[in-house]
A and B are shown apart, each in its own frame.
Chain A
Amino acid sequence: MRFIFKLSYDQDIRLAKHSGHVFWYGLLLMSLLLAPWVLPAYWSTLITLTMIYGIVGLGLMLLSGFTGLFSIGHAAFMGVGAYMQAVLTSMGWPFPIALLCSMAVSALVGAVVGLPALRVRGIYLAIATLAFAFIVQEVLVRWESITGGNRGLAVGMIDLFGWKTSSPTVFYYVCLILTILATLGVLNLLRSATGRAFVAIRDSEISAQSMGVNLARYKTLSFAVSAALAGLGGALSAHMLRFISPDQFGIVQSIDLLLIVIIGGLGSVHGAFFGAIFLIATPQAISLAKDFLPSALGQTVGLQSLVYGLILIAFVLFEPMGIYGRWVKIRTWFELAPLYRKGLFKRQKSFQKTERLK
Chain B
Amino acid sequence: MSTGNLLSVQNLSVRFGGLAAVSNVSFDVRRGEVFTLIGPNGAGKTTVLNLISRIYQPTSGDIHFDGHCLTAMKPDAVAGLGIARTFQNIELFEQATVLQNLLIGRHTRSHGNFWQHLLFTPSVWEDERAAREKVEEIIDFLDLQHYRDTVIAGLPYGVRKVVELGRALCVEPKLLLLDEPSSGLNTEETNDMAFWIDDIRDDLGIPILMVEHDMALVSRVSDRVLAMNHGEVVALGSPAEVKAHPDVIEAYLGKSQDVSTLRRRRP
Asked, given contacts A210-B53, A348-B154, whether A12 binds B112 with beta carbons under 8 Å apart, the answer is: no
Query: Of A194, A195, A210, which contacts B55 at CB under 8 A?
Result: A210
- Of the listed stretches B6-14, B114-122, B209-217, B252-260, name the one at the interface; the rest are far from the partner chain: B114-122
**Are A213 and B100 touching (Cβ within 8 A)?**
no
How many residues in A have their beta carbons less than 8 Å from beta carbons of B? 39
Please tell me if the beta carbons of B75 and A209 are within 8 angstroms of each other in the complex.
yes
CB closest residue in chain A, given B154:
A347
Mask, A1-36, CB within 8 Å of B = 1, is 000000001101100000000000000000000000
Bound together, the chains give a CA A350 to CA B53 distance in angstroms of 25
A302 part of interface (Cβ distance < 8 Å): no
Interface stretch, picked from B17-25, B35-43, B90-98, B240-248, is B90-98
Cross-chain contact A193 with B112 (CB below 8 angstroms)? yes
Main secondary structure of the interface of B (DSSP, over half): helix
Our pick among B92, B100, B112, B129 for the contact of A207 (Cβ within 8 Å) is B92
Whether B128 lies near A13 (C-beta < 8 A) is yes
Query: Is B132 close to A, CB under 8 A?
Result: yes
Question: For the side of the interface on B, what is the size category?
Answer: 35 or more
| Residues of chain B within 8 A of A350, CB atoms compared | 94, 153
- Report the Cα distance A196→B104, complex, angstroms: 6
The number of residue pairs between A and B whose CB atoms lie closer than 8 Å in the complex comes to 128
Chain A nearest Cβ from B69, distance in angstroms: 18
For B58-81 the 0/1 string (1 means CB < 8 A from A) is: 000000000000000011111110
- Report B5 CB to chain A, min CB distance, Å: 22
Q: How far is the CB of B33 from chain A (nearest CB, A)?
A: 22
Stretch of A91-99, A155-163, A164-172, A183-191 at the chain-chain interface = A183-191
Q: Which listed segment binds B: A139-147, A198-206, A289-297, A330-338?
A: A198-206
CB-based contact B93/A212 at 8 Å: no
Name the CB-closest residue of B to A13.
B128
What DSSP secondary structure best describes chain A's contact surface? helix
Residue B57 CB within 8 A of the other chain: no
CA distance A192 to B132 in the complex (A): 12
**Residue A356 at the chain B interface, CB threshold 8 Å:** yes
B45 at the binding interface (Cβ < 8 Å): no
Instruction: Judge if B106 is at the interface, Cβ distance under 8 Å.
Output: yes
**Are B118 and A212 interface neighbours, CB within 8 A?**
no
Q: Which of B145-163 contact A (CB under 8 A)?
A: 151, 153-154, 157
Asked if B87 lies at the interface with its beta carbon under 8 angstroms from chain A, I say: yes
CA distance A191 to B153 in the complex (A): 21
The 8 Å CB contact of A200, one of B87, B104, B118, is B104
Top 5 A-B pairs, shortest CB-CB distance = A212-B79, A212-B108, A203-B93, A193-B110, A192-B117
Given contacts A211-B107, A267-B95, 12 further A-B contacts (CB under 8 A): A9-B129, A13-B129, A185-B118, A189-B118, A192-B110, A192-B120, A193-B106, A196-B103, A211-B84, A211-B171, A348-B154, A352-B89
Which chain A residues have a beta carbon within 8 Å of chain B's beta carbons?
Answer: 9-10, 12-13, 185, 188-189, 191-197, 199-200, 202-204, 206-215, 221, 267, 347-348, 350, 352-354, 356-357
| Chain A to chain B contacts (Cβ below 8 Å), 21 pairs | A188-B117, A188-B119, A188-B120, A189-B114, A191-B120, A191-B128, A192-B124, A192-B128, A203-B94, A204-B94, A208-B93, A210-B79, A210-B84, A211-B105, A212-B107, A212-B171, A213-B104, A353-B90, A354-B88, A354-B89, A356-B89
